[in-house]
Structure 1
């Protein structure tokens, strides 16, 4: 079952349960998937593209949450946090920092990276290997820490 089908079913459930936060979040996800399908001229959306959409939406909500918190608008920040939790349910299980460190250490060993000059090589491989399992910022910070 594709993410689009899963989201459609979840939208129906949210409507029945009158869960406004889930409904708004899921409709936003479905809109992004439909937009991507339109841009691809009807071609199938890959699982990687679906994960990228979800990660982008979570990042947007984190950024908004930080801005609302800085402006003392906890009411709006709470809405963003709730939507983020709904969207995160559809991502693959995220790696803990310890698991991420192990994975990046393996990638560093496989690529033969020795110092910060090899960060690009490590990031290229890590971004593809760990797509959906961790966000780019966490991968980058861990790679920099292990290479320095």
Structure 2
């Protein structure tokens, strides 16, 4: 079952269970996906849906840090609850060993020898790790391997 279908099914389940918090988060996710589909006038692929959900998690993490800095813990807790709901639909994160294996394979596949080849390595890795690893941290690991 596709992630989009899972989201729609979970929305129906949340309505039946009268779980307002979960339902609200699912509606936000579906609305974000629908907005992109309307803007681009095409149906999103599975990887595009994962990218939207990953972006939503990142936005909420940023909001949590801002709310905590402002002393608004109740708002930070709401954002954390939304992250939990969204994470139910994202693929399981890669372990560090799995990530290292993928990085090594991408470096050897691209024939990368220095920092100038970082884009090639990231281009190979991005579709494989989308939604399963933090791209900023991944970039740092690749940078240290290539330098």
What TM-score comes out, normalization by structure 2 length?
0.90
5+ residue gaps, structure 1, are none
Deviations 1:34-66 (A, max 9, x none): 11221232x322111111111111111111111
Aligned to 1:51: 50
Change in Cα spacing, 1:68 to 1:13, as seen in structure 2 (3 Å) is same
Cα displacement string for residues 67-98 of structure 1 (whole angstroms, at most 9, x for unaligned residues)? 11222221111111110111011111210222
Q: Tell me the distance in 2 between the aligned counterparts of 1:103 and 1:86.
A: 28
Per-residue CA distance 1:7-47 (angstroms, 9 max, x = gap): 12211211222322211110011101111221232x32211
Corresponding residue number in structure 2 for 1:137:
136
Structure 1 position 87 matched with structure 2 position 97: no
Cα RMSD for the two superposed structures = 1.6
Distance in structure 2 (CA, Å) of the matches to 1:98 and 1:67:
32
The count of corresponding residues between Structure 1 and Structure 2 is: 147
Q: Which runs of 5+ in 2 are unaligned?
A: none
Match of 2:110 in 1: 111
